[in-house]
């Protein structure tokens, strides 16, 4: 595989660059089995369509063909479950959940990881993804299978983490 270097120039990273060392969508950590790809998540509606509108040039245009984006402001109506299930970036910063290479958080890490970037933070992010299983169990315990209207905020949050909460 030819290694590509991605240069990032957006509102949060002016001169960041990373190398793609793996084929897109392949060679994941054995414990990391996301149910949805970044383009599928963008099409389903996550983060009110606002999450990465200033950095779409970093990612393949095919990812954005059917993406639900809102360049002006976050619009929870664009989310699959029609609810706001996001915490402000300030909360993520105060909790220490962000890595300097991915200042937008987990989904930015996942997009870059999916594309083929590998880095020292991968293990921590996979652990964080696995920890979201507790929300799957809560939905399984408290909702009828297939009732996508039960715990919509929790289902939307799981969707942000590449769990297909429509299947629970």
**pLDDT tens, position by position, 129-138:** 999 999 999 9
| Vertex 75: Cα angle to 56 and 37 (nearest 5) | 45
Given this model, what pLDDT does residue 144 score?
95
The CA distances from residue 17 to 20, 54, 77, in Å, are 10, 16, 33
What digits encode the pLDDT tens for the residues 9-39? 999 999 999 999 999 999 999 999 999 999 9
- What whole-number percentage of the chain has pLDDT above 90? 83
This prediction has a pTM of 0.94
């Amino acid at each position: 595989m030819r290694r590509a270097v991605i240069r990032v120039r957006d509102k949060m990273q002016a001169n960041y660059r990373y190398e793609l060392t793996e084929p897109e969508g392949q060679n994941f950590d054995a414990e990391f089995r996301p149910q949805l790809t970044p383009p599928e998540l963008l099409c389903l509606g996550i983060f009110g369509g606002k999450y990465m509108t200033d950095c779409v040039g970093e990612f393949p245009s095919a990812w954005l063909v059917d993406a639900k984006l809102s360049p002006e402001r976050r619009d929870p109506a664009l989310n699959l479950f029609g609810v706001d299930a996001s915490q402000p970036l300030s909360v993520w910063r105060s909790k220490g959940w962000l890595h300097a290479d991915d200042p937008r958080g987990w989904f930015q890490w996942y997009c870059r990881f999916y594309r083929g970037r590998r880095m020292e933070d991968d293990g921590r992010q996979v652990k964080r993804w696995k920890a979201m299983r507790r929300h799957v169990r809560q939905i399984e315990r408290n909702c009828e299978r297939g009732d996508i209207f039960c715990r919509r905020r929790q289902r939307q949050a799981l969707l942000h983490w590449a769990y297909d909460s429509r299947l629970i």
